[in-house]
Structure formats: structure tokens, C-alpha cells
Amino acid sequence: MPLLKAIDTNPSFAPRESGPLPERLISGNPAFKTWAQDVARGETIHTGVWEATPGETRSIKGETYVTVM
């Protein structure tokens, strides 16, 4: 079984569109698009293409806060 999976960086299918949860929004009005392409290891690894418009949000991964701009 190959360990590498090719990801299409220009997918032809429509993305899932979303925005940040209100409690995570810091500034701006960011919009997100996600083209999910593969799930592995019991749904613990998700790969695909993600796009965001400008804005600042707080993402919680365990105890770590990440700002995306």
C-alpha cells in the first residue's frame, strides 16, 4: 500500500463553504472554503485544499491557540 496520496490542488468539485464560530472570531469577516479529498487512520487525518479570506480567528487544538490571517 503506498504511503503517499496525490492531492489535486485545483479540484473540479464544489467546496464546502463556512465561516468561523462567533467565539473564535477576533477581527474581520473571514470566509472559508474546503475541498476535502482524503480521510485516513480512523478519521484522524484529513487532507485536501483549504482557502480563507482575510481575517483573524482563534483555533483551539488541545491547549494551543493558533491565529490564522
User: Looking at per-residue confidence, does 45 or 49 come out higher?
Assistant: 49
Percent of the chain clearing pLDDT 70 (strictly above): 84
Mean pLDDT score, 38-49: 81
**Higher confidence at residue 49 or residue 2?**
49
The three-state (H, E, C) secondary structure of the chain, written as one string = CCCCCCCCCCCCCCCEEECCCHHHEEEECCCEEEEEEEEECCCCEEEEEEEECCEEEEEEECCEEEEEC
All cell numbers assigned to 67 = 491565529
At 53, is the pLDDT very low, low, confident or very high (cuts 50, 70, 90)?
A: very high
Q: Which is more confident, 45 or 61?
A: 45
pLDDT number for residue 32: 93
- Please tell me the number of Cα atoms within 13 Å of 67 on its side-chain side: 7
